[in-house]
Amino acid sequence: MRSVLTLIPKTRNCSYKTCTSRLSSSLTRPGALILDRFSRLGLTTQRHMSKTQTTRSASGQLAPSFSVSPTPRNPLGEGNYIRTAAALIIGDEILNGKTHDMNSNYFAKYCFEHGIELKRIEVIADDEAQIIEASRRMVKNYDFVITSGGIGPTHGTFDDITYASLAKAFSQSLVHHTETLTRMTEMIKHRAWMSVQTPQQRAATERMALFPDGAEVLFVAKDIWVPVVRLEGKLCIFPGIPSLFQKMLTALTPLLPLPPQTERSLRIQVFTERPESMIAPYLTKLQTHLRPHGIQVGSYPVLGQGVFVSLIGRDRLLTTASMASTQVQPDSDGHHGSEDTKDPPRIVLADIAREVELEIDGQIVSEEEVAKRKGQCKQLTTPVTVAASMGVKAKF
């Protein structure tokens, strides 16, 4: 096999299924107390409702089923699609360690699965000035921006700070959204606490339907009355509760101008037990030669296990510019393709991965195997076990 460092391409058709598996989109659900809080607010129907069933409220009424918004016009222009993304995670509770942020990780996986390049994740406080500055900057620089957190019924500058700050960021006023109020009322009208609400409590509940007046309001699921509010065609506002965030983001998918399958990258990982220092020179050369072709090379040591080498990219034809940048030489007959065909030259990620296997004495592994080995690493919790795993005698 010719070295990939010479970048003489191959034209074989390879099945990715034998090399890797796609990322899992599932995450641990939050605790029952959090879900119960939002169920009582009417944000979602009961926890265990299946896709093909409806549940009944305490009064025996069927839970409502709402219509979903039609696909809106493409805010990026006809024929264009989302290429870059950013996430703005809002909440003092994230910054002070009270709450573990699961949403940015889920969003990162979502972006990778759909061929979007996630360029930035920021966590900021419940602070109007910070929200205004960050949201304006992100909308200017990226195609798809999400916010998580800072929406809710609390009065003043607490849970409802996101809508108010974003309205100010884009010179809009806050108004009650009639359809959202209707859906909210339909969802919660049979709740016992509705009949004893004070005017002040009712007003607090209705603040969850107080949106910037120039926003798009997208209803994404039949069993959720809370919409995804979109500003400037780019910035989508989500709640912070992980279960609701995940469900609403997933449900939003059909309404987004996502990249076509041909533009989505694949990740192949190769595991080796060799130390990272032993394979670093080879990987440095590999990255230098593959970067012009849009392929990323990364190495990730796992304590006591070895190193994962990650290849991220997609199959593509070699261009004249990329061949020149890596000094690919034509064959003796002046052809840049394989020895036995006149097909256009290609970079094939699976071919590169197999060569990396040989060069670092490694093995292509699935995402499940990656998770398993990382889990084994977490078991090395004491200095003695860590030292032992590295073949070092601990001195204390």
- 243/282 same-domain check: no
Tokens of 53: 């069933």
- 243/364 same-domain check: no
With respect to residue 171, please indicate whether it lies within any of the assigned structural domains. Answer: yes
Question: Where is the domain boundary, 237, 255, 273?
Answer: 255
Q: 115 Cβ partners below 8 Å, 6+ apart? A: 258, 259, 260, 261, 263, 264, 265
- 274/248 same-domain check: no
With respect to residue 260, please indicate whether it lies within any of the assigned structural domains. Answer: no
Q: How far apart are CA 360 and CA 287, in angstroms?
A: 15
- 147/276 same-domain check: no
Neighbours of 29 (CB within 10 A): 13
What's this model's pTM, rounded to 2 decimal places? 0.74
Question: Where is the domain boundary, 255, 287, 310?
Answer: 255
With respect to residue 292, please indicate whether it lies within any of the assigned structural domains. Answer: yes
Note the pLDDT of residue 11: 41
Residue 306 host element (H or E): strand 306-313
With respect to residue 16, please indicate whether it lies within any of the assigned structural domains. Answer: no
With respect to residue 54, please indicate whether it lies within any of the assigned structural domains. Answer: no
Q: 374 Cβ partners below 8 Å, 6+ apart? A: 302
Note the pLDDT of residue 338: 46
Note the pLDDT of residue 114: 96
- 68/209 same-domain check: yes
- 141/229 same-domain check: yes
Q: C-alpha 66: how far from its chain's center?
A: 27
- 269/251 same-domain check: no
Question: Where is the domain boundary, 255, 287, 305?
Answer: 255
* pLDDT tens, N- to C-terminus, the chain (396 residues): 456 565 444 444 444 444 444 333 333 333 333 334 444 444 544 333 333 334 554 445 567 899 999 999 999 999 999 999 999 999 999 999 999 999 999 999 999 999 999 999 999 999 999 999 999 999 999 999 999 998 866 544 445 689 999 999 999 999 999 999 999 988 888 788 877 888 888 888 888 899 999 999 999 999 999 999 999 999 999 999 999 999 999 999 999 999 999 889 999 999 999 999 999 999 999 999 999 998 999 999 988 789 999 999 988 877 655 555 444 444 444 444 444 556 668 889 999 999 999 999 999 999 888 888 777 665 545 555 544 554 555 554
Count of structural domains within the chain = 2
Task: Provide the residue range defining the domain that includes 294.
Answer: 265-389
Q: How far apart are CA 376 and CA 54, in angstroms?
A: 41
Note the pLDDT of residue 369: 84
184 close to 208: Cβ distance less than 8 angstroms = yes
With respect to residue 245, please indicate whether it lies within any of the assigned structural domains. Answer: yes
With respect to residue 385, please indicate whether it lies within any of the assigned structural domains. Answer: yes
Note the pLDDT of residue 375: 73
- 210/349 same-domain check: no
- 293/195 same-domain check: no
369-373 contact pairs (CB < 8 A, 24+): 369/271, 370/269, 370/271, 370/308, 373/271, 373/302, 373/305, 373/306, 373/308
- 289/142 same-domain check: no
